[in-house]
Amino acid sequence: MSMTDPIADMLTRIRNASSARHSQVEIPTSRMKLEITRLIAEQGYIGKFEVKRGEHGDVIIIDLKYGKNRERVISGIKRVSKPGRRIYARKETLPKVLGGLGTAIISTSRGLITSAEAQRLGLGGEVICFIW
């Protein structure tokens, strides 16, 4: 039996909470998850987030954002590179999500950054996820 992918689990929790119109979602923390959360907050897909002591270690509590009529800000979120099949992109072939309307998160030698930032810095790396 394979181990579950903690990043895919995080993205699924955000996707499900957003679909169910929850105001917050709680995710067990890790450095990688914290960086992904920071990036999607900077891109404006979620409200504020904080790390709190949970029952079984620290948890990230994310405030989800919605539009005026409770329409979702996150219409989709998808894991690209998985533990069983890693997906890498060269600086020339960085992915565009919805023709530039979405965001791709890339793991580079400089840490996790958006594909737009990777393009600017001329870096390639592992494509972690898409969010739109």
The DSSP bridge partners found for residue 113 are: 106
Domains and their CATH numbers in the chain? 6-64 (3.30.1370.30), 77-131 (3.30.1490.10)
Distance CA 48, CA 116 (A): 22
Measure the CA–CA gap between 74 and 59, rounded to whole angstroms. 21
Output the pTM of the full model.
0.89
Distance, C-alpha 54 to centroid of its chain: 21
Is residue 80 within 8 Å of residue 64, measured between CB atoms?
A: no
Summarize pLDDT for 31-80 with one digit per residue, the tens: 999 999 999 999 999 999 999 998 889 999 999 999 888 888 999 999 99
Amino acid at 118: A
Please report where in the chains the tokens 């949970």 appear, as a residue.
Answer: 54
